[in-house]
A and B are shown apart, each in its own frame.
Chain A
C-alpha cells in the first residue's frame, strides 16, 4: 500500500462543506484537504480509508486498459 496513491478528500465525509485536517494519534498533522498521503504509514492509510477521509488519485483501472490494448495484437499474431 503506497500513500502516494491517495490524497485527503476535499471535504469531511460526514460534515459536508467542512475541510479535513488529519492528524495522527500524537497530534502531528498528516495533511489537509487535497494533500497527498505520501509518507503515511500503512496503518495511517488504512485508518484514513476506514474513516472515509481519503480518495485514490492514481487511476486504478490503468493496468486493465494496458492489457486490453495488448490483447488484439496478440490475437493477430
Chain B
C-alpha cells in the first residue's frame, strides 16, 4: 500500500510539528559495517558490527515563534551537556489513525536547529535529531484527538492476532490540555476482547505539551485499548500507541 504526504505526522515531546508544514522528513536506520577486506580478496568485503545508527532530520518547515509551535519546540532543546535530558519523538507515514503503524524514539537529542531566511520567501526552519538507544515500532491505539470527558477504545480494541510474552513500550503524547486537574491515561489489554485490565498506567499529568514512554515486562494480551481518565472539566488533546516486543 502506498501513502501520500497527507499521511505523515510528527510529534516531539508533545509538540505537534506536523503544523510546521514540513517539506521533507528523513529517518535513516543504518547498520554500521566494517570493511574487512584482506589480502587475497579481489573485491571489498564488509561485515556488520552489530550496531545500529538512527538519524532523523526535518526540513523546509515554517519558522513559527507562536506558543507551542516550532521555535518553542526546537530552539530551547539543543543539548547543553552530557547529561542533557533526552526527548521523546514519534512519527508515522501511514496516517494518524487507530491501528496504523508508528515509530517511537526515546533517546533523542535535537542537536541542530537551522533557521533560513530567503528573498521572497517565508522564513523556514530545519532540525536534525540524533537517536541513542531505543527505536520502537508500534501501532496507534489512540489517534491524536481532543476529548472533554473520560473515554476509552475498548469497544474497538486493536487486535494483535495473538498475545506475546516479551513486554512492550507505551507512548503517550499530549499536545494541549486545559481545565482538567488530572489526566491518567492507561493502556489496557485483554486475551479475548471481553474483559480488560490495566497493562500500563502513565503518570498523572496535565501540563501540555508533554510526552511519556513507559516500558512493561512479561505477558501482553492479544487485544489492546487505550483509556483516558480526566478529573474536572476542560479539554485534552492526546495520542497514544504501543510497541509490542
Contacts and interface: CB of A to CB of B under 8 A. Distances in A.
Categorize the interface residue count of chain B. Answer: 20 to 34
A18 B193 CA distance: 21
Nearest to A20: B197
A24 interface: yes
Contact of A23 (B195, B218, B219): B195
A53 interface: yes
A50 B192 contact: yes
A43 interface: yes
Interface in A1-24: 12, 14-15, 18, 20-24
Interface residues of A, number: 20
B147 to A, nearest CB: 13
A43 B197 contact: no
Contacts of A51: 190-192, 195, 197, 221
B194 interface: yes
B194 to A, nearest CB: 4
Nearest to B225: A27
A25 B198 contact: no
Q: Is the interface of A mostly helix, strand, loop or mixed?
A: mixed
B135 interface: no
B197 A25 contact: no
B119 to A, nearest CB: 56
Nearest to B190: A51
Contacts of A44: 194-195
A15 B194 contact: no
B155 A25 contact: yes
Given A23-B154, A25-B154, A27-B155, A47 B198 contact: no
Contact of A24 (B154, B191, B198, B221): B154
Interface of A: 12, 14-15, 18, 20-27, 30, 43-44, 47-48, 50-51, 53
Interface of B: 151-152, 154-155, 157, 188, 190-198, 216, 218-219, 221, 225, 227
Given A20-B198, A23-B188, A53-B197, 20 more contacts: A12-B197, A15-B216, A20-B197, A22-B196, A22-B197, A23-B154, A23-B195, A23-B196, A23-B227, A24-B194, A24-B196, A25-B194, A27-B155, A27-B225, A44-B195, A47-B190, A50-B192, A51-B191, A51-B221, A53-B195
